[in-house]
Structure 1
Amino acid sequence: MKGLIQRVSQASVVVDGETVGEIDHGILLLLGVEKDDTPEKAGKLLDKVLKYRIFSDGAGKMNLSLADTGGGLLVVSQFTLVADTRKGLRPSFSSGASPALGEELYEQFVEMAKSRHSTVATGNFGADMKVSLLNDGPVTFMLEVA
């Protein structure tokens, strides 16, 4: 399971002209699910997302986490994160989860997030989404769990 996190001043997701999820200051998480992922891996990744220290403290150092700041979390499914791009000029998605497994683990991740964090918004799994963000920094990290 891979998560690309971006520290944002604001972010939103639009599907068919309608805003389905939005946050102010916080983290936009693009979530990629692989075929060997499990609910346990989802829980580990969520823990890392919530506790990863990417927000500035009073001294301007990245010492605070999303859990510390209480900012929003916008979770968007992003199957292209799991692409193998090492060879050729076309991505391979052989390590990606099936759509059914991807959706199941995505929904489990979102439910866990909502139970552990106060402000959680989402996109729509599998939809053609328009994601807008104002990256703060820019600060962007790829998170993975074993």
Structure 2
Amino acid sequence: MKALIQRVRNARVDVAGECVGAINQGLLALVGVEPQDTPASVAKLLHKLLNYRVFSDADGKMNCSLKDIDGGLLLVSQFTLAADTKNGLRPSFSSAAPPAQGEALFAALVELARAQHRQVATGRFGADMQVQLINDGPVTFLLEA
């Protein structure tokens, strides 16, 4: 499982002109599921999302996690993160999980996140989504579980 995380001042996801998920300060996580991923991958990725230290402390150092600042977590499924881009000029999606597996593991991530964190919003799996954000820093990391 992969998550491209961005520290944001705010972020939102729209589907067909309707806002389906929004947060203020926190993390936007674009999540890609791969065929070898399991529920253990979900738990490991969520642990990283909630505890990865990307927010500044009083001294301006990245020592605080999403949990520490009680920030929002916006989870957006993005199968393109699992693409194979090593060869040629067109991505191959054979390295992404099949849609049913991807949807099930993404739903498990959302459920577990909501059980462990107060502010969780999501996009809509499989939908054509428009994502808006103000990246704070900018600060962007690729996490792998």
The number of aligned residues is: 145
Matched, 1:114 2:114: yes
Residue 87 of structure 1 aligns with an amino acid whose one-letter code is N
Give the distance between the partners of 1:115 and 1:99, measured in 2 at CA.
24
Partner Cα distance (1:14, 1:95) in 2:
27
Alignment deviations for residues 13-59 of structure 1 (CA, whole Å, 9 cap, x no partner):
00011000000000000000001100110100000110000000000
- Coordinate RMSD, CA, aligned: 0.4
Unaligned runs of 5+ in 1: none
Tell me how far apart the structure 2 counterparts of residues 101 and 40 of structure 1 sit (CA, whole Å). 14
Shift of 1:93: 1.0
2:19 aligned with 1:19: yes
Work out the CA distance in 2 between the residues paired with 1:3 and 1:117.
17
1:95 is displaced (CA, Å) by 1.2
For residues 1-146 of structure 1, the aligned pairs below 5 Å read 1-145=1-145
Q: Distance in 2 between matches of 1:99 and 1:92?
A: 15
Question: Aligned partners of 2:82, 2:98: CA distance in 1, in Å?
Answer: 12
Letter of the 1:29 partner, please give it.
A
User: How far apart are the structure 1 equivalents of 2:140 and 2:129?
Assistant: 20
SS at match of 2:50: helix
Secondary structure, aligned partner of 1:136: strand
C-alpha displacement at 1:94, in angstroms? 1.1
Which contiguous aligned blocks of 4+ residues in structure 1 show a shift greater than 4 angstroms?
Answer: none
What TM-score comes out, normalization by structure 2 length?
0.99
Say which SS state the counterpart of residue 35 (structure 1) adopts: coil
Q: Identity across aligned pairs (percent)?
A: 63
Gaps of 5+ in 2: none
1:53 partner amino acid: R
Q: Which amino acid in the other structure matches residue 36 of structure 2?
A: D
Distance 2:26 2:43 in 1: 19
Deviations 1:58-88 (A, max 9, x none): 0000000001100000000000000110100
TM-score by length of 1: 0.99
